[in-house]
Amino acid sequence: MHYHVGTFNGSHFVEENPNGRIRWLNWGTDCYAGVTLNNVCGRRIMIFWVNNWNYAQMRSQVYKGAESFAVELSLRRVGDDYQVLQMPVTELDKCATNAATYSKAQAEAGIRVPIDDRQAYKIVAYIGGPGNFQIKLVYGIGSDVQVRIYNNFAEKTMSVEKTNVDPAANGTKVTHSAPYDAANQTRLLLLVDLHSMTLIMDAGWPVFTELLVPIVRSRILVVDGPSQVDVSVTRY
C-alpha cells in the first residue's frame, strides 16, 4: 500500500509530491487492503489485512491471514514533503493484563516472551546514543534467529530481516529496508502475536508489518544497543 497527499478542488485531485517518490504506508510485505474509519472520536483509524497475495494461497498452515491491530493515522509535514504516521489505538491498552520493564543487561541476555493463541504483546524499547542497534526474536537461547531488526546509522536505513514466509523460498532470509535517520534516542514499538509482528518507529514512521514462520508459542527478545537500553513488555 502507498498513499498520496494533496488537495481536491471539487472535480479532481491535485497531488503534492515534490520528490516524486512512492510514499509507502508500510515497508513490510504483509500490509494489504487497508480500510479506514473516519471521525472515530475525532480520529481516523485503519485496519488492514496481514498477508500478501504472492503466497497467501500457497501456505499450508491453518493460518491464512488476519486483520491487523487498529492504528490511528495522522499527517505531518517533513521539510517540503508529508508523512502519514501510524500509532496503535489507545483502546488497545485497556486489554493489557500485565506489564514488566527490563534493564539493558536483561535485554541483552534475552527476555522470554510466551504467547498463547489469543494473546499478543506490545514491546517498547528506548535506545539512547547514536550508533547501530539491533533487536532479535529467536526461538530459544542459541537457536536460529526468526527476526532481526537493525539500523545502519551511517547509511540512514532501518531494516527487518526475517525467515521468508513464502513456501517457495525454502526458509531463506528476506530483508526489507526503509530510509531512517536515527536520533540520539530511538523508540521502537513492536506488536507481536503468534503469526506476525508490526514494528513502529518513533512517532509512527517508518512501519513494517511482517508475517512470521514458523508459528511458535514462545520467543526470546534480545536487544543490543550502543549505550542505554530500556525495554517494557505489555501482555494483552
Taken in order of first residue, the domains within the chain and their CATH numbers are 2-235 (2.60.120.560)
pLDDT over threshold 90, residue 21 = no
What does the pLDDT average to over 211-234?
A: 82
Q: Say what the pTM is.
A: 0.92
Which residues, other chains included, contact 231 with Cβ-Cβ below 8 Å and sequence gap of 6+? 101, 102, 106, 107, 111, 123, 124, 125, 126, 221, 223
Is the distance from CB of 107 to CB of 126 less than 8 angstroms?
no
| Separation in Å, CA 186 to CA 74, 168, 232 | 20, 36, 14
State the average pLDDT for the chain. 88
- DSSP codes of every residue in 165-209: --GGGTT-EEEEEEE----SEEEEEEEE-SSEEEEEETTT-SEEE
Q: What is the pLDDT of residue 110?
A: 85
Q: What is the pLDDT of residue 45?
A: 97
**pLDDT score at 37:** 95
CA 193, 163, 228, 129 torsion-angle sign? negative
